[in-house]
Amino acid sequence: MIQISQIRLKPDSPETALHQAVYKALRLSSKDTCRIEIAKQSIDSRHKPDILYIYSVHVSDILLNGKKPVDEAAWIKKLKNRDITPVTQKGYTFPAVSRQILKEEDRPIIIGFGPAGMFSALKLAEAGLRPIVFERGDSIEQRKKEVEAFWQGGALNTESNVQFGEGGAGTFSDGKLNTAIKDPTGRIHEVLRIFAEFGADSRILYVNKPHIGTDVLAKVVQNIRKKITACGGEVHFQTKLTAIHEKDGAVNGITVFDRAENRSFTHACNTVCLAIGHSARDTFEMLLAQGISMQPKAFAVGVRMEHPQSFINQNAYGDCHYKLPAADYKVTFQTSTGKGVYSFCMCPGGYVVNASSEKERIAVNGMSYSGRNGDNANSAIIVTITPEDFGSNILDGMHFQRRLENLAWREGNGQIPVQLYGDFKNNRISTGFGAVTPSIKGAYTFGNLNRVLPEFLTAPLKEGITGFSTRIKGFDMEEAVLSGVESRTSSPVRILRGDSLQSVTLHGLYPCGEGAGYAGGITSAAVDGLKIAEQIATN
């Protein structure tokens, strides 16, 4: 296979332009044939408003005059073009299954149906191992109704909400799939391929920063669930893990509370994938009480910040006349005291959402639909904190999150507290909006976020936001809107596992994904789910 890099096309180029560029680069004639696959597409806006799309493509099956195969190595050598190179595309292969399901208790159990649990269950189901999923929240159909009702002023369902339910917390997010992890095994591409197979736009396979959008993601996860059940797996909603049973240092059963039937039951099993998500605080408490080895983990805390999307577009593209995707950004800043401040989970054309999962606590997150056509851009602006900041006991980070969320609830009298950035800097409550009207799902009111976050967080946030303006001029506009509190950026604990990916405490227990402290987003959680499925299938 041949890779051609640095193909540069204008955004308004005709559909045939990429094909013509490939033929020109390879010196092929119109009578020759080949297979062309886009490997990567990104936007080059360094010389705005002159914007270009940059492509890398893979070319194979080259036939001269449609008949004579090309010696690719010789052809590349003849072209003498450093942007044309040989490439080998390594596909993902799920390992051969060494287990047989002879008894009901041999069926693998998946706790949680977010990306980690979902991808683990899908691969195990396709391998014929008939996994059983227990998810504390509701199906996506019911969950959407509950979340929308909550945003409209209804009561919070603490068991099914933005954090809990089919698809996990990522379902009510931007659905972004870019990740910083590296995986030479092909798992990342496999995750993208599966998302595309079950309903996501196929462009996620090659765009530089792929995203699905909450509206499409809801349909995708439903389709994956149907595939799991069609392959002999089971997915049970409204079922929460309340205990793990052991015998001789190994899992031999679980206790689950069935919310629909208002009863608990015990299920015999010897393999449990624990994909509980970063907000399953009561489960963290249960695991600690049962002696499962865990440790506190650094995470980040801050606020959501909204700007007009038009402002972000202008910064990215200038006075460009092309129709381009809603622009994003990524900014970091090192403060004078050494604290790192950075943007996280940026949502172009998106919404701030009330992502609470516990009563009398407020947590916010960001969400975008697939079109990313909302008026505002929002991003978490956060500061990393460590056990030195919140305490070294295992659940101190979780308790710190809870305290901040309760302060946010009190500050907003049960609603999301919001504040203009200029007023945040000057420690005063805002009295009205200016250039930015909030795009928020859920009730909100003016409050003072200086009374929610401690000074060791507000000081670096103020310095960092001002510092960001050296990268994005005007980022520190006084009328930008802040919302609080952004506290669920990642899990506050890590559930320790060994080389076999099993708990160091309990054989047969596989801590998995973001809640276990081994992922940070949809893609990395799904990749971890694949890793666990591979281990379960071969052990």
d(CA 294, CA 363): 24
Mean pLDDT of 218-222: 96
Locate 236 and state its tokens: 């049970």
Residue 444 has pLDDT above 80, yes or no: yes
**pLDDT > 80? residue 363:** yes
Each residue's pLDDT tens digit, 16-47: 999 999 999 999 999 999 999 999 999 999 99
Taking 80 as the threshold, does the pLDDT of residue 98 lie above it?
A: no
What are the CA-CA distances from residue 158 to residues 86, 251, 484 (Å)? Answer: 54, 28, 19
Mean pLDDT (the chain) is 96
At residue 174, the pLDDT reads 86
pLDDT given for residue 528 in this prediction: 97
Q: Write down the pLDDT at residue 18.
A: 97
> Could you give the CA distance from residue 307 to residue 539 in angstroms, rounded to a whole number?
50
- For residue 153 the two structure tokens come to 């002023």
pLDDT above 90 (res 182):
no
Single-letter amino acid code for the residue at 226: K
List, edge to edge, every strand of the sheet that includes 332-334.
Answer: 332-334, 340-347, 376-385, 299-308, 481-486, 416-420, 444-446
pLDDT above 80: residue 405: yes
Domain 2-86 has CATH 3.30.70.2700: yes
Burial of 141 (0-12, 13-18, 19+ CB in 10 A): exposed
Alpha-carbon gap, residue 533 to 115, rounded angstroms: 13
State the span(s) of the chain assigned CATH 3.30.70.2700: 2-86
Question: Are 508 and 270 a contacting pair, CB within 8 Å?
Answer: yes
Q: Structure tokens of 341?
A: 């401040």
Comparing CA positions, the residue from 117, 118, 128 lying closest to residue 94 is: 128
Q: Is the dihedral of CA 383, 416, 346, 515 positive or negative?
A: positive
Q: State yes or no: pLDDT of 178 exceeds 90.
A: no
Report the percent of the chain where pLDDT is more than 70.
100
Nearest partner of 401 among 488, 342, 514, judged by Cα? 488
- The answer to whether the CB of 231 falls within 8 A of the CB of 128 is yes
| pLDDT of 99 above 90 | no
Cα–Cα distance, 309 to 455 (Å, whole number): 30
CB neighbours of residue 262 within 10 Å: 7
Measured over the CA atoms of residue 415, residue 155, residue 359 and residue 289, the dihedral's sign is negative
**Is residue 310 over pLDDT 80?**
yes
pLDDT tens, 484-538?
A: 999 999 999 999 999 999 999 999 999 999 999 999 999 999 999 999 999 999 9
Cα–Cα separations (whole angstroms), residue 347 to 148, 220, 237, 341: 19, 20, 29, 18
SS3 172: helix
Report the run of H or E that residue 50 belongs to, with start and end: strand 50-64
Structure confidence at residue 11 (pLDDT): 95
Quote the CA–CA distance of 424 and 422 in Å, as a whole number: 5
**Would you call 261 helix, strand, or coil by DSSP?**
coil
Fold that domain 104-295+492-538 belongs to in CATH: FAD/NAD(P)-binding domain (3.50.50)
pLDDT band, residue 539 (cuts 50/70/90) = confident
Question: Quick check: 160 pLDDT over 80?
Answer: yes
Partnered with residue 33 across adjacent β-strands are 63
Q: Where in the chain is the domain with CATH 3.50.50.60?
A: 104-295+492-538
Task: At 442, list the tokens.
Answer: 């859920």
